[in-house]
Amino acid sequence: MTHKDIIVRLYLEGLNVKEISQRTYHSPRAVDNYIGTFERVLLLSLFGLNKNLMARVLKKGPTLIAEYLKLVEEYYQDCQAIKEYLLARGVKL
């Protein structure tokens, strides 16, 4: 488990950026960056992009993308759950 995984898990469990930052000794900017990348992976997974294409589009490594995809599988049962989360975050689908 990496620090990125831990940070996103804490976010998905309801902690805010400030709380996560304090617990993990990361700057709020870094926490926001990890959460933002996760949300982009979440959105791209909704549209069925594969891991390698996501890595290219997001300019991130495939290992990080795979790590975030595991979180997607763990925290979201289906596409509807992903859509509900994204809509709650203000993403228009």
Residue-range definition of the domain harbouring residue 63: 3-88
Q: Tell me whether residue 46 is in a domain.
A: yes
Give the model confidence (pLDDT) of 45-78 as tens digits.
999 999 999 999 999 999 999 999 999 999 999 9
Domains in the chain, number: 1
Q: Tell me whether residue 93 is in a domain.
A: no
Q: Tell me whether residue 50 is in a domain.
A: yes
For residue 92, what pLDDT band results from cuts at 50, 70 and 90? confident
Q: Which pTM does this prediction carry?
A: 0.92
Task: Flag whether pLDDT at 1 surpasses 80.
Answer: no
Q: Tell me whether residue 72 is in a domain.
A: yes
Secondary structure string (H, E, C) spanning the chain: CCHHHHHHHHHHCCCCHHHHHHHHCCCHHHHHHHHHHHHHHHHHHHCCCCHHHHHHHHCCCHHHHHHHHHHHHHHCCCHHHHHHHHHHCCCCC
